[in-house]
A and B are shown apart, each in its own frame.
Chain A
Amino acid sequence: MPTEKEMKQAEVAYKNLCKMLDNRGWSYSKHNDDHAITCSATGDDLPIDITIDIHEENSLIIFKSLVARMPEEKLAEGALAVNVLNSSIINGVFEIDFGNGNIYFRLVTSFRDSLISQEVYDYVLACSCVTVDKFNDKLPKLANGEMTLGELYNYAQTCWDN
């Protein structure tokens, strides 16, 4: 259970998160009881569905987005893929739920006892959207067999060059 202090910090973090989205002029749904918001962004190709959750007990800002779903027979390939991507990025994580094959992108940062600027909220959103946008067309292609793991590996090694 979060302490009163952790709850207060989470409340501040949630307000700052909403302020950042308001400043950007984004439309989003508030889930005040959970200190979470959901929204959608337009990437270069596919839309990006976003959940940003303020985790009270651990004092964390958690960005999460569903990127693809691997079929059951391709779960091992999905595991290789998330490791390929995670080894190519500085921040954030691609993770696979072996229960249903869903691949998510998650980016987490802590606000524990700290004064976190609007820039951090901006960064979490921008960095996450850019990373998801790089790969949200590639992972579904891997899932449906239009792309090989080798092609994904090569793309992951070069996609940050420009």
Chain B
Amino acid sequence: MADEKMIKEAKKVYKTLCDTLDLIGWTYDRHDDDFIVTLGVNGDDLPMNFVLGIDPDSQLIRCLSRLPVQFTAENMVAGAIVCAHATWRLIDGSFDLNISNGNVTFRMNASYADSLISTELIRYLIATACNTIDGYNDGIALVANGSMTIEEFMKK
């Protein structure tokens, strides 16, 4: 449970997050009570939806994006392989397949405990998440609907 100091700190980082999005000039929805913003971005092919939040308990800036794909029970193994392969190729972030429902979520964090976080760090987080998702979401979607094989995905 976050104490008063942690809540105060989360508010400060949340302000930096909103300031950064304002600087970039992006439209977003604020959920101030939860220190969360939601936004949509148009990628090269598929749209991307983001939840960017400040978690006072874990003192993390969290970036989550559910991909518009779903793996069925029949192609869950293929989903696990392509998500694991994509994650292996990343320096930061991961594509997580929830094997109980076939959903894929991109996840990336930064820790801010007692730190002074710059708008540049937030920019890095957002830019890396956008570029990474945009680079893989079409391939993952094609594997999910059976239009691409695992081998083709890995060669991509």
Interface residues of chain A, those whose CB is within 8 Å of chain B, are 55, 58-60, 62, 75-76, 78-80, 82-84, 86-87, 90-91, 93, 95-98, 108-120, 123-124, 153
Asked if B114 is an interface residue, CB under 8 A from chain A, the answer is: yes
B120 at the interface (CB under 8 A from A): yes
Contacts of A55 in B (CB 8 A): 91
Q: Is the CB of B97 within 8 A of A83?
A: yes
Q: What class of interface size applies to chain B in its complex with A?
A: 35 or more
Instruction: List, in ascending order, chain A residues with CB within 8 A of B96's CB.
Output: 83, 86-87
CB distance from A67 to the nearest CB of B (A): 14
Query: Known contacts being A87-B97, A91-B109, A124-B111, is A58 close to B88, with CB within 8 Å?
Result: no
List, in ascending order, chain B residues with CB within 8 A of A80's CB. Answer: 76-77, 80, 99
Q: Binding site of B, secondary structure by majority: helix, strand, loop or mixed?
A: mixed
Q: Is the pair A108, B91 in contact by a Cβ cutoff of 8 Å?
A: yes
Task: Indicate if the CB atoms of B120 and A120 lie closer than 8 Å.
Answer: no
Name the residue on A nearest B57 (C-beta): A90
Residue from A93, A96, A118 whose CB has the most chain B CB atoms within 10 Å: A93
A51 to chain B, nearest CB (A): 14
Residue on B with the closest CB to A111? B121
Cβ-neighbour of A113 out of B77, B111, B113, B120 (below 8 A): B120
Q: How far is the CA of A110 from the CA of B80 in the complex (A)?
A: 27
* Nearest neighbor of A122 in chain B, beta-carbon distance: B113
Which residues from 66 to 98 on chain B have a C-beta closer than 8 Å to any C-beta of chain A? 76-77, 79-81, 83-85, 87-88, 91-94, 96-98
